């Protein structure tokens, strides 16, 4: 079980939305993490490498900044099944770049722009994830 | 300068991921477990993010141009092709297995869990593979 946290989740979500809006205001780009991270490796097609690097460094620094600010370590529970996590990571990386976006690019930014393409993508990855968890927890694991 | 601005925006995004619970795979997997230990919190993350981005994008795009770079880089395609179905289907399966999507996985990197340290390099390799195959495919189809 995890605790239902509507207020914290809403506030955190609004910070994510604000970051996306400010990135559009600053340099006119979509805050899609798969697009940003996927273009950190060559070939380089534009001059936005340093921007992307900065964004990713900020992401990685976030829990460390929170830990320093609050004096408490950030809690999380991650599976320690290494083969499972390697397979999951490859699928997430391949699928998000193949489909031109993930939870942020299609989910947050695409839905906000009322993109039909992003509505389709978001519906498919949500459905695939719901079905996967159902199979893992209630069919295979049940 | 753009490096520092983006670092600040990445930090804001990452703090949002942590506060919202999105950076904790246990919370993500419980959100996805409709018929088990369902935790609906993450619907509020998406709701909050989309409401702010929906309103904010309208204000920003009405300016006509961003502060730097001269023009907005907006996706122009709106067709629903095989890739925008197959990609998210593959991504969703991985998300359901590991509980991480790309942003939270990177954000969790510094926390050093063994599962994260296995997930992130595999994710980067997956991203790179998709890019290289995608570029090879589009080169072939342009010939």
- A37-55: per-residue pLDDT in tens? 999 998 898 889 999 999 9
d(CA A45, CA A117) in angstroms, rounded, equals 24
Q: What is the mean pLDDT of residues B19-35?
A: 96
Instruction: State the best of A1, A7, A9 to mutate against chain B, taking most chain B CBs within 10 Å.
Output: A9
Residue A14 lies in a domain: no
Residue A30 lies in a domain: no
Summary mean pLDDT of chain A: 95
| Domain of residue B114, residue span | 2-142
Q: Do B98 and A85 touch (CB under 8 A)?
A: yes
ipTM rounded to 2 decimals: 0.96
Half-sphere exposure of A37 (CA within 13 A, CB side): 35
Given this model, what pLDDT does residue B123 score?
Answer: 98
**SS3 assignment, position B57:** helix
Q: What is the mean pLDDT of residues B125-130?
A: 97
Q: CA A115, A56, A121 angle in degrees (round to 5)?
A: 25
Question: B53-68 pLDDT, tens per residue?
Answer: 999 999 999 999 999 9
pLDDT confidence tier of residue A112, bands split at 50, 70 and 90: very high
Question: B98-107 pLDDT, tens per residue?
Answer: 999 999 999 9
pLDDT confidence tier of residue A142, bands split at 50, 70 and 90: low
Q: Which of B12, B21, B133 sits opposite A9 (nearest CB)?
A: B21
Given this model, what pLDDT does residue B141 score?
Answer: 75
Q: Which of B21, B23, B96 sits opposite A132 (nearest CB)?
A: B96
Question: B8-18 pLDDT, tens per residue?
Answer: 999 999 999 99
| Domain of residue A85, residue span | 79-142
Summary mean pLDDT of chain B: 95
Residue B143 has pLDDT above 60, yes or no: no
Residue A133 lies in a domain: yes
Q: Which of A80, A128, A131 sits opposite B88 (nearest CB)?
A: A128
Give, rounded to a whole angstrom, the gap between the first and last alpha carbons of chain B.
40
Q: Do B14 and A59 touch (CB under 8 A)?
A: yes
Q: Which of A13, A84, A106 sits opposite B49 (nearest CB)?
A: A13
The tally of domains found in chain A comes to 1
Residue of B nearest to A29 (CA): B73
Residue A59 lies in a domain: no
Residue A7 lies in a domain: no
- Work out the minimum CA distance from B141 to partner chain A, whole angstroms: 16
Given this model, what pLDDT does residue B142 score?
Answer: 65
Percent of chain B surpassing pLDDT 90: 88
Given this model, what pLDDT does residue A73 score?
Answer: 86
CB B89 within 8 A of CB A125: yes
Q: Is the dihedral of CA A38, B42, A121, B94 positive or negative?
A: positive
d(CA B122, CA A94) in angstroms, rounded, equals 9
Residue A2 lies in a domain: no
Q: How many of the other CB atoms lie within 10 Å of CB of A28?
A: 20
Percent of chain B surpassing pLDDT 70: 99
Size of interface A-B (CB pairs under 8 A): 498
Q: Which residue has the tokens 């039909």?
A: A116
Q: What is the mean pLDDT of residues A129-134?
A: 97
Percent of chain A surpassing pLDDT 70: 99
Q: What is the mean pLDDT of residues B117-127?
A: 98
d(CA A74, CA A77) in angstroms, rounded, equals 10
The tally of domains found in chain B comes to 1
């Amino acid at each position: 079980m995890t605790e239902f946290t509507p207020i914290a989740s809403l506030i955190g979500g609004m910070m994510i939305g604000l970051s996306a809006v400010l990135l559009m205001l600053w340099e006119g780009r979509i805050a899609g993490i798969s697009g940003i991270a996927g273009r950190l490796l060559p070939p380089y097609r534009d001059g936005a490498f340093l921007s992307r690097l900065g964004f990713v460094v900020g992401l990685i620094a976030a829990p460390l900044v929170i830990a320093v600010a609050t004096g408490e370590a950030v809690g999380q529970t991650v599976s320690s099944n290494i083969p499972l996590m390697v397979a999951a990571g490859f699928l997430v990386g391949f699928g998000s770049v193949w489909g031109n976006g993930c939870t942020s690019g299609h989910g947050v930014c695409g839905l906000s722009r009322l993109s039909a393409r992003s509505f389709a993508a978001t519906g498919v990855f949500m459905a695939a994830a719901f079905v996967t968890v159902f199979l893992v927890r209630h069919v295979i694991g049940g | 300068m753009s490096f520092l601005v983006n670092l600040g925006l990445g930090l804001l995004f990452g703090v949002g991921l942590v506060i919202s619970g999105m950076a904790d795979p246990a919370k993500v997997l419980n959100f996805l477990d409709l018929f088990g230990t369902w935790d609906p919190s993450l619907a509020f993350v998406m709701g909050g993010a989309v409401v702010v981005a929906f309103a904010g994008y309208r204000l920003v795009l009405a300016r006509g141009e961003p502060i730097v770079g001269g023009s907005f880089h907006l996706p122009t395609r709106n067709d629903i092709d095989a890739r925008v179905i197959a990609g998210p289907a593959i991504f969703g399966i991985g998300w359901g297995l590991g509980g991480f999507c790309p942003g939270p996985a990177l954000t969790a990197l510094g926390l050093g869990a063994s599962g994260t340290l296995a997930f992130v390099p595999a994710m980067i390799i997956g991203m790179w593979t998709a890019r290289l195959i995608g570029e090879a495919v589009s080169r072939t189809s342009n010939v």
